[in-house]
Chain A
Amino acid sequence: MISGAAPKSASVVPAIRMDGIDKSFGAIRANRGASVEVMPGEIHALVGENGAGKSTLMRILGGLMKPDSGHVEVNGRDVTGWSTNEAIAAGIGIVHQHFMLVPTLSVAENLVLGAEPKTRGIVLDYKHAADDVRKLSNETGLVIAPERLISDLSVGEAQRVEILKVLFRGARILVLDEPTAVLSPPEVRELWTVLRRLRDKGDTIVLITHRLDEVVEISNTITVMRAGQTVARVKTSATTPAEIARLMVGREVSLSAGKRVQPSGRPTGPPDKGLEARSLIVMGSRGIRVIDGVSFTVRPGEIFGIAGVEGNGQTELIEALAGLRPVFAGEILIDGADITRRSVAQRHDAGLSHIPEDRQRRGLILEYTVANNLILGVQKHFSSRGIIDSTRVMENAMQEISSFDIRPPNPVLTARSLSGGNQQKVVVAREMGREFSVLLASQPTRGVDVGAIEFIHQQLLDARAQGKAILLVSAELNEVLALSDRVAVMYRGKFAVVMPAAEASEEVLGEYMIGTKKGNTA
């Protein structure tokens, strides 16, 4: 499978060599024979889509997990299955995507935690700690006042502390997991300066990312992963972003619900019906606009697809539309009626259905039976004078189970006991089995088996044929392309582009997704 020019140097021992790594979580195979090789003193980019197995591979390197099979070598030493502490001692430092910093402690306190300098046996030597921090700051250019509290820092500053923290523990091999996801462009430039300086000093750096512009800008070599496997290892100078994108996404057989199903010249409903968003602004937890002035309409009989790398505001957009997240400014209309300030239940009544992205945390009550899950959100229609009509609940369950082919076909099983695909079918059955005019479908086929994917796609197309307005959000580019009439790409809280699906391709959308191409919203 390995293609491209793998630079092999006989005289230099690789800093990291991982070979034939397998790692499964239950039925999910995160790594299947994955391999990676990183030379000392280089910046190596580990790229791939979400769920490609990058983070798992690096967690194994850091001793946070043990591989099911395969070998891990660091500086020529076999370290397969080592512990976190052994990895730290051997100079591996992982900068996690979610900061591992205690917000109520100072910078210096976070740095020395677990390896505290002491005086007189028991007393924490703050002066020593602060001096160490300053010294390290000067060496690396990661400047930060040691006495500041983490909770007072900006995201960029907090990340500086994270990097300092692993350096403080003597790390010579740094793994950074999606370090730029939360940074502003100037902060990113600053990070690159620091990483280059560390590399020139002889440190080895692995960058996990899916932003290709970054890869090209900073890395020396690249490993591409897809679906748990390593698909390529290339020199950055010998490739192009387009080729990396193609390797990341892969040349998959197009899905059964392809464009050929789309009838041409389909009647779309009147323009004042369906879903409309006007200049929507939504604030995130840190007071940043996670949705920054998004406007669009979804007409009846249309599927409007939103593609994009995850974390660019898709989740927040759907939550705001569904009534689960407050809207800072702008309006949301369903069939012409303003529902911006309405509750979730009122939006249901207005004709909104919602397949949430996380079925286990949002879509299902895992301890409830399938039958009871099938009435969630519409429970009032299954009750009279406050009493739930269990006969109708069961009838409804039997009907949905057979029409959506939920297996095993037993309405009194708990949702927890179903497979992921069947859990998703329960959610889809509930949301599409009731009266609605607008459907929000967020990652409708995530973690679902191939048969169920096909089935769910067909349901969406059928609903479109019946004149429903459907907003589809998916991390699967080919899914968006196959189902949508129009597609938009979300990038940092805005639509980078809106275009008819007929004119779009994976290559074109991919460039908008990773920010190498910035268009105007059509």
Chain B
Amino acid sequence: MSASPLVEAKGVQPTFTAAPWRERAEEALIPPLVALLVALICGDLLILSYGQSPAAVYRMLLEGTWGNAYGFGQVLYKATTLAFTGLAVSFGLRAGLFNIGAESQLAAGGFAAALTGLVLPGGTPLALALLVCMIAAGFAGGVVGSVPAYLKTRFGAHEVIVTIMLNFIVLALLNWFIAGHLHVPETLHTPEIHAGVLPRLADIDSRFHGSAANLALIVAVLVAIAVWFYLFRARGGYELRAVGLQPQTAEYGGISVNRVWMRALTFSGVIAGMGGINYVLGYKHYYEDGFASGAGFLGIAVALVGRNHPFGVIIAAFFFATLSQGGLAIHAFVPKQMMDVLQGVVIIAVATAVPEVRRILRGARGRSDA
């Protein structure tokens, strides 16, 4: 061959001076920032449609959420559930699987936690009660998550459709159980639990009085750390991410793709299920029909904006919780439903910006050979 080595080599990088982490950071951070910008613009329009000043409304939003202890406590409470569902969705996505079933897994987990709290005797030590309730919640979520996992690995049924369908089935089952068997008359919730009631943030610092933030917040952060450790430090995480990135290569590397998928979706369900403790053990102390109310679906948004990184998910959960609580703070001037709109806008903007930003950033690096 007459060509020089430099010409023959494929995909040659002209320069290696750029630090690799910078490219990755750009790819990870630009989409959420673009989305935030788009959301702000949409927010302005909605606020203006109500004849209000965007600056004033945004200031009010910040004051009502991060500006006072109660508002901040509520943000933390809402972020806790979203962190669980966001971690659940992102765990599946790391293996290349889309778990849309976090909604029903969360509900099943809450239900199991409540049942356990009812069965345990009143004097059970908190640590033990919490542990048992969490195991029950995780188990229930994991059972729900294992169904699409089994159907996928055994029959090739697409997990997106199965998890959606399972949402309806599980929620209907829970509704049947609550409505028909285990509810306080005139309500759709169980009696209050005897054990496992979590201390609230207000018990530690009285300024948080009235807010629902509780010990589950710490559990959520610990779960995020555990997920991070598993994904990036454990062999299982190495294999799981490999399957998510390039299943063919993983198979070549001796990794059983089906086994990883089974594990990923089941544990995704476990994490979502554990999220049930925030409402049941930390807030209301009973299971109420419909308590998940979209937190599972919002978990998709949280995972997406958090770029599937456990700590990104925590931040994204905090962001979406702020939106939700902020809606209440501005409600007197602009209806809180504005935040429902912005949630949708953020998701679409991030989903759109992710492939586009990657294409633009990688376009500069030249095409790999086909």
Contact = CB atoms under 8 A, between A and B. Distances in A.
Interface of A: 25-29, 227, 252, 322, 324, 343-345, 347-348, 354, 356, 360-368, 372, 376-377, 379-380, 383, 386-388, 390, 408, 410, 412-414, 416-421, 447-452
Contacts of A345: 254-256
A368 B243 CA distance: 12
Contacts of A372: 238
Given A362-B249, A364-B249, A365-B245, A28 B233 contact: no
B252 interface: yes
Given A27-B6, A388-B233, A448-B9, 18 more contacts: A26-B366, A27-B10, A29-B3, A29-B7, A252-B1, A322-B252, A345-B255, A360-B369, A361-B246, A418-B13, A419-B12, A419-B13, A420-B10, A447-B8, A447-B369, A449-B9, A450-B5, A452-B5
A312 B297 CA distance: 50
Contacts of B365: 417
Nearest to B236: A386
Contact of A344 (B6, B234, B252, B369): B252
A355 to B, nearest CB: 11
Interface in B316-370: 365-370
A343 B252 CA distance: 10
B1 A450 contact: yes
Nearest to B250: A365
A376 B242 contact: yes
B253 A377 contact: yes
A29 to B, nearest CB: 7
Contacts of B370: 25
A387 B242 contact: no
B239 interface: yes
A341 B6 CA distance: 43
Contacts of A252: 1
A417 B9 contact: no
B123 interface: no
Interface of B: 1-3, 5-13, 16, 20, 24, 233-236, 238-239, 241-242, 245-246, 248-256, 365-370
A386 B11 contact: no
B5 A348 contact: no
A449 B6 contact: yes
B243 to A, nearest CB: 10
Contact of A451 (B5, B241, B254, B369): B5
Nearest to B3: A29
22 contacts: A26-B369, A27-B366, A28-B369, A356-B252, A361-B246, A361-B248, A362-B248, A362-B249, A363-B252, A364-B249, A366-B246, A368-B245, A379-B235, A379-B238, A388-B238, A390-B233, A408-B16, A413-B16, A419-B9, A419-B13, A450-B5, A451-B5
Contacts of A380: 235
B242 A360 contact: no
B10 A28 contact: yes
Contact of A387 (B12, B234, B241): B234
Contact of A417 (B3, B13, B235): B13
B16 A377 contact: no
Among B245, B246, B250, max chain A CB count under 10 A is at: B246
A387 B232 CA distance: 10
A354 B252 contact: yes
Contacts of B252: 322, 324, 344, 354, 356, 362-363, 377
A363 B252 CA distance: 7
Contacts of A356: 252
Contact of A449 (B5, B13, B234, B246): B5
Contacts of A343: 254, 256
Nearest to B237: A388
A163 B248 CA distance: 34
Contacts of A413: 16, 20
A440 B5 CA distance: 26
B251 A367 contact: no
A452 B245 CA distance: 27
A324 B7 CA distance: 34
Given A376-B242, A387-B234, A420 B7 contact: no
A388 B10 contact: no
Contact of B20 (A417, A421, A448): A417
Among B235, B242, B250, max chain A CB count under 10 A is at: B235
A348 B235 contact: no
Given A27-B12, A413-B20, A419-B12, A383 B369 contact: no
B1 A420 contact: no
Given A386-B236, A387-B233, A420-B369, A450 B8 contact: yes
B248 A419 contact: no
Contact of A419 (B10, B20, B254): B10
A348 B254 contact: yes
A376 B9 contact: no
Contact of A27 (B2, B9, B234, B251): B9
B308 to A, nearest CB: 12
A225 to B, nearest CB: 14
A388 B251 contact: no
A322 B253 CA distance: 10
B11 A420 contact: yes
A363 B248 CA distance: 9
B11 A26 contact: yes
Contact of A388 (B9, B235, B242): B235
B192 to A, nearest CB: 40
Nearest to A393: B238
Nearest to A323: B254
Contacts of A419: 9-13
Nearest to A407: B16
A345 B235 CA distance: 14
A388 B9 CA distance: 33
Contacts of A365: 242, 245-246, 249-250
B143 to A, nearest CB: 24
Contacts of B241: 368
Contacts of A376: 242, 249, 253
Nearest to B2: A227
B27 to A, nearest CB: 10
Among B6, B251, B256, max chain A CB count under 10 A is at: B251
A388 B369 contact: no
A335 B2 CA distance: 42
B128 to A, nearest CB: 26
The 9 closest A-B pairs by CB, nearest first: A420-B10, A345-B254, A449-B5, A377-B253, A344-B254, A383-B235, A376-B253, A419-B9, A449-B9
A323 B121 CA distance: 54
Contacts of B238: 372, 379, 388
Contacts of A412: 20
A383 B238 CA distance: 11
Among B10, B242, B367, max chain A CB count under 10 A is at: B10
B254 A227 contact: no
Contacts of A29: 3, 7
A452 B1 CA distance: 14
A29 B5 CA distance: 13
